[in-house]
Structure 1
Amino acid sequence: MRLPERLARINRYVTNPIQRLWAGRLPGFGIVEHTGRRSGKPYRTPVNVYAAPGGFAVMLMYGPERDWLRNLAASGGGKLVHRGRTYAVTNPSVVPASEALEFLGKGPAALLRQLHVEYVLRLTSA
Structure 2
Amino acid sequence: MRRKWLWLIKNTLNKVAMRVARTGHGPFSLVRHVGRKSGKTYETPIVVARVPEGFIAELTYGEDVNWYRNIVAAGGCELFVDGQWHQVSAIEPYTSEAGRDAFGYPAKLVLQVLQKHEFRLLRTA
| TM-score > 0.5, shorter chain as reference | yes
Deviation at 1:26, TM superposition (A): 2.4
What is the TM-score when the length of structure 1 is the normalising length?
A: 0.83
Aligned-pair RMSD on alpha carbons? 1.9
Q: Percent of counterpart pairs with the same letter?
A: 27
| Native 8 Å contact 2:21 2:28 kept in 1 | yes
Structure (1 or 2) with the greater helix fraction = 2
1:82 corresponds to which residue?
81
Greater relative CO (CA pairs within 8 A, separation 6+): 1
| Native 8 Å contact 2:75 2:91 kept in 1 | yes
Tell which deviates more after alignment, 114-123 or 56-65.
114-123
2:62 corresponds to which residue?
63
Does residue 54 (structure 1) correspond to residue 53 (structure 2)? The answer is yes
1:43 corresponds to which residue?
42
Deviation at 1:5, TM superposition (A): 5.0
Look up the SS of the partner of 2:32 in the other structure. Answer: strand
User: Unmatched 5+ residue regions in structure 1?
Assistant: none
What is the TM-score when the length of structure 2 is the normalising length?
A: 0.84
Task: Number of aligned residue pairs: give it.
Answer: 122
User: Unmatched 5+ residue regions in structure 2?
Assistant: none
| Native 8 Å contact 1:93 1:121 kept in 2 | yes
Look up the SS of the partner of 1:90 in the other structure. Answer: strand
